[in-house]
Amino acid sequence: MNMPVLETTKTRARPHTKVSAKTQAITLARSEDLPLGSILAGDCVEAMRSLPDNSVDCVFADPPYNLQLGGDLNRPDGSQVDAVTDHWDQFDSFAVYDKFTREWLTEARRVLKPDGALWVIGSYHNIFRVGAILQDLGFWILNDIVWRKTNPMPNFKGTRFTNAHETLIWASQGEKARYQFNYRAMKTLNDELQMRSDWSMPICAGQERLKHDGHKAHPTQKPEALLYRVMLATTEKGDVVLDPFFGTGTTGAVAKRLGRNWIGCEREDFYRDIAMKRIEKELPLDESALETMQSQKSAPRVAFGALVENGYIEPGTQLFDKKRRWIATVRADGSLIYEKQVGSIHGLGKELQGLPSCNGWTFWHLEHGGDVKPVDAIRQIYLLATED
């Protein structure tokens, strides 16, 4: 079934904050009034103006970075770097960029529910300007997340430090606003350690990188693992996620897989076409795999959740001990479920054996490439891939 392209001119565990009667009285838009699973064509500000007030649970925005590149960027061998030189990333001045930022953030604030979440990602070129403006508009910053790229592009000229990270801002609607945070799922995803605000994962590459005529379809395509973690942390199944800068549809693809609803805004026909084809191929996870843990050292260290969110082990995969006494199912947050018992790869293995500890990496096995391998073998594949 093709997704339409539209032309345009819960009871949850939350921080203990009070909500005003005014906020409680706001009538939220019904999901049937929303263009779910659609890409709104045209300028994102105008597109968002077509949406009702208080209608989405999460906004994930990857706005133009306004890179201010001067001339071509070349490698030492003279070859040209495929950088962001598209017209959509070019603004005449900081004032023009700030005006645009204020306009789309104003609409994002309007369409977000009172307990909704805003995520914005950017580089040093723009994230500080965006952060100041969103604070001026009343958003309350909950965290800034450093996405440390394990395989960044080098600084070819050797004139600066290698730019190896980008910054995400996670914000609520205000200082007293309620918001969703799936703390337990994040801890499980991180092998029972509290998730930190520095996230190490590779840039989009390999089969995940969309190509057109042998070239990158989009210069700043984000890795699905990044969106996987964002949505698993701050949304629930059935929530509505809006992406005002949809690009090639990473947000929509991950949302579909995780059972979230999505709406995109994208003015470029080329990107909309690629995004639609990409999302149509995406398969949602089985209902049981979507369940997550609820709230209650080797070097380099890798969390089992990293294999799940990067697609090396799919949710729904069955893991078993070497003698196949127990067969457990991998869930979306990296937890395992065996009958009614749930835990991490280490915790569940320990409970099933009645032992004080368990190395889940070697205890659990899976079918891979026609052979039975310990989960640690997949970890080694992941490590080799991220060392490049």
Examine residue 206 and state whether it is found in any structural domain, yes or no.
yes
Higher pLDDT, 234 or 298: 234
- The reply to whether 93 and 165 lie within a common domain is yes
- The reply to whether 212 and 340 lie within a common domain is no
pLDDT recorded at residue 388: 53
Q: Give the structural domain span for 40.
A: 31-69+81-289
Higher pLDDT, 142 or 6: 142
User: From residue 336, how far is each of 187, 326, 352, 362 by CA, in Å?
Assistant: 13, 11, 12, 15
Please state the rounded mean pLDDT for residues 271-277. 91
Q: Which amino acid is at 90?
A: Q
Residue where a domain terminates, one of 265, 289, 313: 289
Per cent of the chain over pLDDT 70 is: 82
Q: In this model, does residue 87 exceed pLDDT 70?
A: no
- The reply to whether 327 and 282 lie within a common domain is no
Q: In this model, does residue 195 exceed pLDDT 60?
A: yes
- The reply to whether 278 and 129 lie within a common domain is yes
* Nearest-angstrom CA–CA distance, 218 and 247: 7
Please state the rounded mean pLDDT for residues 300-316. 91
Query: Is there a contact between 240 and 246 (Cβ–Cβ < 8 Å)?
Result: no
User: From residue 259, how far is each of 28, 86, 314, 385 by CA, in Å?
Assistant: 21, 33, 15, 28
pLDDT band at 286 (very low <50, low <70, confident <90, very high): confident
- The reply to whether 45 and 160 lie within a common domain is yes
Q: Which amino acid is at 67?
A: L
Examine residue 308 and state whether it is found in any structural domain, yes or no.
yes
Q: Which amino acid is at 229?
A: R
- The reply to whether 278 and 347 lie within a common domain is no
pLDDT recorded at residue 154: 83
pLDDT tens digit string along 105-120?
999 999 999 999 999 9
- The reply to whether 349 and 210 lie within a common domain is no
Q: In this model, does residue 104 exceed pLDDT 50?
A: yes
Residue where a domain terminates, one of 289, 315, 345: 289
Average pLDDT in the chain: 85
Examine residue 6 and state whether it is found in any structural domain, yes or no.
no
Residue where a domain terminates, one of 289, 315, 332: 289
DSSP 140-200: EEEEEEEEEESSPPP-TTSSS----EEEEEEEESSTT------HHHHHHHTTTSPPPSEEE
* CB atoms near residue 65 (< 10 Å): 20
* Nearest-angstrom CA–CA distance, 243 and 245: 6
Examine residue 14 and state whether it is found in any structural domain, yes or no.
no
* CB atoms near residue 298 (< 10 Å): 7
Range of weakest confidence among 42-51, 74-83, 181-190, 191-200: 74-83
pLDDT recorded at residue 302: 87
- The reply to whether 183 and 133 lie within a common domain is yes
- CATH classification at residue 42: 3.40.50.150
Query: Is there a contact between 342 and 348 (Cβ–Cβ < 8 Å)?
Result: yes
Examine residue 158 and state whether it is found in any structural domain, yes or no.
yes
Examine residue 24 and state whether it is found in any structural domain, yes or no.
no
Please state the rounded mean pLDDT for residues 288-301. 66
* Nearest-angstrom CA–CA distance, 213 and 215: 6
Q: Which amino acid is at 306?
A: A
User: From residue 380, how far is each of 202, 228, 336, 377, 383 by CA, in Å?
Assistant: 15, 21, 20, 5, 5
What total of structural domains would you count in the chain?
A: 2
Please state the rounded mean pLDDT for residues 60-84. 62
Please state the rounded mean pLDDT for residues 195-202. 94
- The reply to whether 160 and 190 lie within a common domain is yes
* Nearest-angstrom CA–CA distance, 48 and 62: 15
Examine residue 12 and state whether it is found in any structural domain, yes or no.
no
* Nearest-angstrom CA–CA distance, 364 and 177: 42
* Nearest-angstrom CA–CA distance, 49 and 111: 8
Q: Which two tokens stand for residue 189?
A: 């995803």
pLDDT band at 29 (very low <50, low <70, confident <90, very high): low
- The reply to whether 237 and 263 lie within a common domain is yes
Q: What contacts 183, CB < 8 A, 6 or more positions away? A: 13, 295
DSSP 17-31: ----HHHHTPPPPPG
User: Strand, helix or coil at 12?
Assistant: coil
* CB atoms near residue 219 (< 10 Å): 14
- The reply to whether 130 and 267 lie within a common domain is yes
Examine residue 76 and state whether it is found in any structural domain, yes or no.
no
Range of weakest confidence among 38-42, 51-55, 281-285: 281-285
- The reply to whether 230 and 345 lie within a common domain is no
* Nearest-angstrom CA–CA distance, 332 and 290: 5
